[in-house]
């Protein structure tokens, strides 16, 4: 029975991931993402990580995908845009530098975490010790990163709203001005 659940959930994850990549309609891609996230939630349930499964469904399949769909609808992806026109000439090199920097920071964090875990004490065997450690770590040691992430999400939504205000007319006046 466990093998059947694993195969079915893995097929959901792989099918949804392929749907995200191969679908031409962004709404259909978002629905493929929902399928992928539900498949991961099934894997969590099979591993008896019910809290993570609930978070996966509520936060990711619920809130994040709804946010994606909101942005897709807000941007109006039905209109074709010329991707060869580059509004800011420095935008692509700057994005490459930021991407390389992000990969470097994540790599250093992973290596540092590995050494900390290897040298750290063993965890308690009680059932809720992981949740207590996670909450203590998130809301005391990592509270600054948690708050910066929330500000980043707000800036992303505000940027999306600004991107939807397209140039109109020959004078270049913005809508709503």
First to last CA, the chain: 62
Q: Which of 35, 6, 10, 37 is nearest to 23 (CA)?
A: 35
Instruction: Give the 3-state secondary structure of residue 25.
Output: coil
- Position 87 scores a pLDDT of 64
Is the model's pLDDT at 16 over the cut of 90? yes
Is the model's pLDDT at 150 over the cut of 50? yes
Give residue 81's pLDDT band: very low, low, confident or very high (50, 70, 90).
low
Residue predicted with more confidence, 79 or 158: 158
Residue predicted with more confidence, 117 or 100: 100
Strands (E), the chain: 167-168, 173-174
Question: What DSSP letter does each residue of 57-92 carry, written as one string?
Answer: IIIIIIIIHHHHHHHHHHHTTTS---TT--S-TTHH
Longest Cα–Cα distance of the chain, Å, equals 69
Residue whose structure tokens are 């709203």? 161
Q: How far apart are CA 12 and CA 22, in angstroms?
A: 15
Is the model's pLDDT at 123 over the cut of 60? no
- Position 177 scores a pLDDT of 47
* Global confidence as pTM: 0.51
Is the model's pLDDT at 163 over the cut of 90? no
Domains and CATH numbers, the chain: 1-77 (1.20.120.1200)
């Amino acid at each position: 029975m466990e093998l059947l659940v694993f195969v079915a959930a893995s097929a959901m994850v792989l099918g949804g991931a392929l749907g995200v990549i191969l679908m031409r309609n962004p709404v259909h891609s978002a629905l493929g993402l929902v399928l992928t996230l539900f498949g991961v939630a099934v894997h969590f349930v099979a591993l008896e990580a019910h809290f993570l499964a609930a978070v996966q469904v509520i936060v990711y399949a619920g809130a994040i995908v709804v946010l994606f769909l909101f942005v897709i609808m807000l941007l109006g992806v039905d209109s074709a845009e010329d991707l060869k026109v580059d509004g800011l000439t420095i935008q692509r090199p700057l994005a490459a530098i930021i991407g390389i920097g992000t990969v470097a920071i994540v790599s250093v964090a992973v290596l540092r975490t590995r050494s900390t875990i290897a040298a750290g004490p063993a965890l308690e065997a009680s059932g809720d010790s992981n949740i207590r450690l996670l909450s203590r770590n998130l809301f005391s040691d990592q509270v600054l990163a948690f708050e910066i992430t929330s500000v980043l999400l707000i800036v992303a939504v505000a940027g999306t709203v600004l991107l939807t205000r397209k140039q109109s007319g020959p004078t270049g006046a913005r809508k709503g001005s």
